[in-house]
Structure 1
Amino acid sequence: VLARRGRETQRQQLQRLFLEAPAAICILQGPELVYEFLNPRYQQFFPNRQLLGKALRDALPELVDHAAYYTMRHVFDSGETVWQQALHVPLKRTEDGVLEDRYFNYIQQPRYDEQGRIDGVLVFGFEVTELVEMRQQVERLNRELAAINAELTATNQELGTSNAQLTRTNVELDTFVYTASHDLKAPITNIESIVLALRDTLPAAVRQDEVMAHLLELLDNTVARFQFTIDQLTDISRLQLAHVGPAEPVTLAPVVEAVRLDLAPALAAAGTDLTVAVAPELVVPFSPANLRSIVYNLLSNAVKYRAADRPSRVQLRADQLPHAIRLTVQDNGLGMSEAQQRQLFGLFQRLHTHVEGTGVGLYITKRM
């Protein structure tokens, strides 16, 4: 009698432990796996569904062909304890019967009777749906990041190839410019000498002839333009060397004023109203000669390419930015289309051919 009371006490204690346990626990009895016991946590997975006293395949028909059912059968038939991690279990929602993906960590153990025979299966389950979904999301994000990283790597490789090609092109262009400016000097000098000799040898009457005088003037202008172009090409070939030397602090306002004075005759002839807004304390770390060339090119172009149907106005201003100084030259001149803007700083690019020029000045400005 005492032994029976002791067993009953142990059974009650074990039942109370199962009822209060944080895990979902059930006991399936016999080969049909009939629900003999389940604690509240287990019942929470199946709200409003009657499980006690029903065989597993009748209580949860959605599991009949699922691995969870066959695993429990295997435990009952073999006596082997089975552990399963993040097992996917589709369960019907009570309200609409739609299958919902759930994930569980399971421990399934055989239960033995007093004769040592298997008479049931004990199931301990812990839902890990949120953890699995978070892990799946992380894996999905990792795949997306890997794809983005692969795209960035490919793009960087393409950019590296493009930069290498641009570097080679720039080197070839610098070599061409140097060679052209060097090799053209002698022929142009010879032409200039021939024109001078021609002026000296021609009789005065011939030189004074209207047609001949016009031709000689055209020759002089052509030679001067060639010499100007060669000088600019020489400046381009020297430009790279100018970058090598250390920059020095240059006060911007005096440079702008010096250029304004140099352009005073052109400004007066064009009737250009030039407005300058440069703080006297602005200092630019730059090559003084290069800085003057930039200001000169920008201002002279603003005057040169003015519109004939309105008074010419040019504004030059400088603004201090956090890590730089922005120099802006704005005018109300001829303007440019989007296509012309893309060509603006190209070598030998001339967007308005009715005005004299070589298409080199802004290229030099950009390279500086």
Structure 2
Amino acid sequence: MGDPSTKTGKLEKLMELNDELENYFNNTIIPQLFVDADMVLRKFTPAAMKHFKLSADDVGRHIDEVSNNIRFPTIVENISEVIESSQDLEKEIQTTDKVWYQMNILPYIIKKENRTNGVIITFIDINDRIQILKGYEKLNRNYENIIHSISHDIKGPLSNIEGLISILRETPKSEEDNRQIIDMLSESVVNLRRTVEELVDIENDTAFAKEPERVNFENVIEDAKLALRDKIAETQAKVSTQIREAEVSFSRKNVRSIVYNLLSNALKYRNPAGEPAITITTEKAGEYILLRVRDNGVGIAEDKQQAIFNRYTRLHDNVEGTGIGLFIVKGMVEDMGGRIEVESRVGEGTTFTVYFR
């Protein structure tokens, strides 16, 4: 028989360790769960009780029975994976209430037997960090929008200016003709200046788009038509409008870029067999305001209709462009809770529908 005093000492040591563990569990501010190898919830911290609305009655229940409280569907599979492998598991999760956590599942190993007898699960609230990261991701996209728009939206006004200067240089004109050309040149310069000022005017805000404002569709469409005047004249395109919804609450510079991109594409991808006919319409549809740009151009094959929204996608090498325009448009719309859809038939034309929320 062993020494009774030794056994008493070991028991006291175990009780002391248990008290320390209990004290830790009761005072830590981190949500933690202790689940044994039979998937039974054995203990949890007060923070876990608060976060996941657990109660004393949940102790002794199978984790599958309380997983709805934790609101993370694969937790049982993840616990099994850690118990089987005895390896830590760390992942970022989002619960159904949209809060982000860093979840660490650590194996509880009995050293003498060299086996895992359960897991300790820790949840660290990283929602603020995730939101900041998302903010920076959006900021990067916004600055990408700026770069794209500066290189894309000013091409039209610059082309107009170059064309008008070329006309002035070519052959002598009457004083009235020269005055008219100079007036048009001045108008193009004003339009170019306004475009550049809007694109670079981020004031003290780090975001590309200002807070939504009331944007008049007719004004923005006229701006786009003016910027693309040379291309419209060159192709003899007929651009008509049906404005049933006059305004939208959005960033003005983004609406202008959206209209410009869609109108520019309709002109680029025209059907060589006939004159381009482009119709721009707006209307209210439930909670959305719809902008449609319909053309009678070459159309898009069905299996390519989603690919056109990917970065650098170009379906026709003989048409100028970077293949980033629709990618940018999609990002602009989706960042504000909307979406963009396309319907098209090869040889008949294409309709883009933007859903502004």
Structure with the larger helix share: 1
TM over 0.5: no
Calculate the TM-score normalised by the size of structure 1: 0.41
